[in-house]
Structure 1
Amino acid sequence: MSRVFGIELCRSGALPAGIATAVIGVAGLYVLALTGQTSLWDQQWNLLAVFQRIMLVVLWPLALAAGAWQAGRDRRCRMQELLGTTPAPVRRRLRPAAAATALCLAAGYLLVLAAGAPKVATAAGYPGSGWPAVTGVGALALVAAGVVGLGLGRLLPYAYTPAVLGAGGLAGLLAAIEATKLGDTTKPGVALLLPFFTSTISEFQAIGGAVSAGQAWWFGGVTAGGLVLFLARNRLVRLLAVVPPALGLALAAPMLTATAFPVDPAATAEVCTTGSEPQVCVTAAHSRNLPALVVPARDALRLLAGLPDAPDSVHEAVPGPDRTQPASEAWLDSDNLDQAGNTAELTARILAGAGTPLCVRDESSDYLEVLRARAVTAAWLYGSHPAPGVTVSAAEQALRDTMWKALVALPADEQARRVAAVRAAGLTCGDQAAALGIGAGR
């Protein structure tokens, strides 16, 4: 049997299908390096596993077509009648093809993970939880596509079957994305029956264990159904191919109603400096950034010390609608940690809003006014205008220059009062532009 399996690997289309999966998957990872977007997957193992699943929108139809191509081999070689005269059962003859296809597709998928592993290992501070299950389900979903392709290719042994399945599979998945994109992203529902995720996650999220278990039941059922379709000889048995997917769906459905992307408490847990110096804290997900944050954070605390009830520690602000900032803390939004290599710019970013995070969304009508108030506040605390790292258009800079001149023209105690008001507004997610009282219409 092992000899037959080895021949199948060498002479069938299974190995090229696995190689194509690996090549396309690795290219999908690293093509983002051309635009500097590898942070979509290289910051955590969870992100890599989820991004790899997203690429199944292309790899899944490819596996479907590869399976159909493999199933049509006997017809292309005009060997159907000859093989039909052999005494060996059909199942025994077809099993090596199914095993080779499944093995090569799964190996190709895992090679994509291996290609991204070195970059993740050097960048991730916290590995994340649940990613092995996410990867395993992704490999199973790809195997399911290959096996279903085998079954459909044997059922419809025509030259155009692989092309139709590949194109139709891609079109179907794209249509499914459009049909499900308006749903609740935290509870995607039927979208979880797709082989890929329709959205990325943050480094503070995980994939629910119940979701991975439910998807495993579903894709396991699809794989079993494809095997029945491929190995069966008569039409009656082939009709039974719908039973395993139906059973898998019944077992999966209760699990897929859970929150798909829950917050991972271990990722949001704080990692802090120790000792007598002012405390600086980041989340476990960004623990690698802590050493680079210490100096600019303590510089920012020194500059904030002149305000009433000045903060005495700096903390990374975890994204979320229900965050309450204590007056004794200065907060820094997570996305600012990308500037951890530039001390002056990171200090200025902590000083924006006098040590408070940005609360308004970019679609808000007062978004630009709040940004200007925060930038002018940072410049006042830093002692120079514009503050380090600020790069805006000439027209926008002119507006900020006007606000700066209006602020510094006020008496010194009034300047300090307004900057303190900006911080007070930021602590409660109030209107920081109104608190500064300088700008368009103010």
Structure 2
Amino acid sequence: MVIRTELRRSAAPWAAVLIVGIAAVLLFAFSGPWWKGGGAWNREWTGLARWERNTLVLLWPFAVGVGALQGLRDHRSGMAELLTTTPRPRWRRTAQTAGAMAIAMAVGYLVIFAIGAVQVAGNASYFHWGWTPVLLVGMLSLIGAAWLGMGIACLVPSVLTPPLLAVGALAVAMVTRISPDGGSSLSGSVPDRIAWLSPVQDGPDEAFTSVTGSMNLAQGLWFLAIAVTGFLLLAATRVATKLLAVVPMLVGAAVALPLLPATAAQVQEVDQGAVALVCAEGTPRVCVTNVHKEFLETLVQPAREALALLAKVPGAPTSVEEATTGQPLYGRRPVVPGVVQIDFDDFDLASGERTTTDPDRLRRYLVAGVGTPTCYGRMEMDENYMSLRAASAVSAAALTGELKPLSGSSSAYFRNELETLARPAWESFRVLPAAEQIARLSAMRVAAETCRGGTLEILTNGVAR
């Protein structure tokens, strides 16, 4: 009954509503990275849980601020001194207020997840429970933030305390946010283990990874320690008790830091269930990962048609498999001999959105470069990049009989540059005898597979300069 009263008269209900509103505006009003890639927040369960952690960049400071506002209630009402004279222990009375705030934080955070879960349930073909720890740690961080704000406000009962705490928490959240690729912005300035104490995580770029168990455990212990410190500050009546309230945070940090990953590469791990291959019946072999098994039926026919076209070139791949790692920021992913690797998040197929189901684009993608992967990472581009793209387009045209852009949604700049380079090369290549075309395609494949460069020159001149 008392908790019900606290839920009615405290800031808790409005806090829950605002948490949902802030997160919804962030997720729906902006086309950020949370909409893109296989790990998008509305496409995959782990992606949903991890991208919701990204919203903590605003929700965590809000929780600290609203907690501090709630913590000033007794001081604002002028009842603080009167309440100290009642026989009821302060910790018992404050526990009800803190409990109401914890319920609000948890409900608000879970409602956000439920909104995303409705979308994921309609899109994902791979269900698992690996996302649960990520969700619970994020929820615990909100509760800890609210309780810490309440405790500090009781310690420093000033009207400036809530806004100053919120602004300070926002600065901390912005600076310490964790990226699965680049680590924290504090990397290099402080040890990575300290940076990993941040509640804010950027979501994944693809659907094959999850947060390591040690990361979830360590962060869970840390945010629990923050919550305990906040509650002790809220319940303390003596100076000595208030001073001792910081001990749980110190102990939590001491326990969590050794458990946290030493490097950014150890923050996440491969989800073996997600990367397990699911293959179509018959030959040639065509396989996709378990997390994308809904694409298998769409892929089989154009993949086998592409392999039939590639069979004209000596040494060309003889099977198609989905790549089980995302395209790195720099450099190429490992080459699998005899296999054309398909990446459903490649911008030639998806451009950051849902992958294409157009058979012609899938077939052209698979034969481009005679089945070889790009030599460039997602963040790389140099003077040879467009030449390699043009060579891939010409090689696809050589096998399909028609020159088309590899991507259905590249920018006008890329299309114009590609047309400028690829069209003359194709016109000179298409008049060559069939045997010479095959020889040049074979040489181009070897050069592309080893990233030696000069692929466009091989197609136009027979040799690389």
Question: Is TM-score (shorter-chain normalized) higher than 0.5?
Answer: yes
Q: Distance in 2 between matches of 1:223 and 1:331?
A: 47
Q: Distance in 2 between matches of 1:387 and 1:412?
A: 23
**Greater mean deviation of Cα atoms: 345-354 or 284-293:** 284-293
Once the two structures are TM-superposed, the CA of residue 388 in structure 1 deviates from its matched residue by 6.7
Match of 1:325, SS?
A: coil
Partner of 1:156: 156
Partner of 1:272: 279
Match of 1:16, SS?
A: helix
Letter in 2 for 1:168: G
- Equivalent of 2:295 in 263, 286, 289: 289
Question: 1:332·1:356 contact (CA, 8 Å) conserved in 2?
Answer: no
Q: Distance in 2 between matches of 1:377 and 1:118?
A: 43
Cα root mean square deviation, aligned: 2.6
Partner of 2:320: 314
Greater helix percent: which structure? 1
Match of 2:278, SS?
A: strand
Q: After superposition, give the CA deviation of every residue in 1:162-191 in whole Å (9 maximum; x if it has no partner).
A: 11111121122223349932639xx94222
- Is 2:363 the partner of 1:347? yes
Q: Which residues in structure 2 correspond to 1:217-236 (within 5 Å)? A: 217-236=221-240
Q: Which residues in structure 2 correspond to 1:380-395 (within 5 Å)? A: 380-386=398-404, 389=407, 392-395=414-417
Question: 2:176·2:200 contact (CA, 8 Å) conserved in 1?
Answer: no
- Is 2:223 the partner of 1:212? no
Match of 1:326, SS?
A: coil
* TM-score normalised by the chain length of structure 2: 0.87
- Equivalent of 1:300 in 284, 287, 306: 306
Question: 2:405·2:418 contact (CA, 8 Å) conserved in 1?
Answer: no
Q: Which residues in structure 2 correspond to 1:45-194 (within 5 Å)? A: 45-127=45-127, 130-177=130-177, 180-181=184-185, 183=187, 188-194=192-198
Q: Distance in 1 between matches of 2:141 and 2:33?
A: 29
Provide runs of 4+ in structure 1 moved above 6 Å: none
Compared CA separation, residues 357 and 322, structure 1 to 2 (3 A): closer
Q: After superposition, give the CA deviation of every residue in 1:35-84 in whole Å (9 maximum; x if it has no partner).
A: 99355322211111111111111000100011111111122222223333
Match of 2:322, SS?
A: strand
Partner of 2:15: 17
Partner of 1:195: 199
Partner of 2:392: 374
Q: Distance in 1 between matches of 2:102 and 2:155?
A: 19
- Is 2:337 the partner of 1:326? yes
Structure 2 residues not aligned, in runs of 5+: none
Q: After superposition, give the CA deviation of every residue in 1:252-273 in whole Å (9 maximum; x if it has no partner).
A: 1121035111222222221110
Question: 2:16·2:108 contact (CA, 8 Å) conserved in 1?
Answer: yes
Partner of 1:421: 443
Letter in 2 for 1:50: R
Question: 2:34·2:41 contact (CA, 8 Å) conserved in 1?
Answer: no
Question: 1:372·1:400 contact (CA, 8 Å) conserved in 2?
Answer: yes
Question: 1:30·1:38 contact (CA, 8 Å) conserved in 2?
Answer: no
Q: Distance in 2 between matches of 1:406 and 1:232?
A: 84
Match of 2:460, SS?
A: coil
Q: Distance in 1 between matches of 2:145 and 2:406?
A: 52
Partner of 1:433: 455
Once the two structures are TM-superposed, the CA of residue 27 in structure 1 deviates from its matched residue by 2.7
Compared CA separation, residues 46 and 34, structure 1 to 2 (3 A): closer
Structure 1 residues not aligned, in runs of 5+: none
Compared CA separation, residues 250 and 388, structure 1 to 2 (3 A): closer
Once the two structures are TM-superposed, the CA of residue 280 in structure 1 deviates from its matched residue by 1.0
Question: 2:47·2:207 contact (CA, 8 Å) conserved in 1?
Answer: yes
Question: 1:102·1:146 contact (CA, 8 Å) conserved in 2?
Answer: yes
Compared CA separation, residues 432 and 267, structure 1 to 2 (3 A): farther
Partner of 2:243: 239
Once the two structures are TM-superposed, the CA of residue 413 in structure 1 deviates from its matched residue by 1.5
- Is 2:357 the partner of 1:335? no
Compared CA separation, residues 415 and 45, structure 1 to 2 (3 A): same
Alignment length (residue pairs)? 436
Question: 1:68·1:161 contact (CA, 8 Å) conserved in 2?
Answer: yes
Question: 2:62·2:166 contact (CA, 8 Å) conserved in 1?
Answer: yes
Compared CA separation, residues 121 and 325, structure 1 to 2 (3 A): same
Compared CA separation, residues 388 and 59, structure 1 to 2 (3 A): closer
Compared CA separation, residues 310 and 437, structure 1 to 2 (3 A): closer
Letter in 1 for 2:288: V
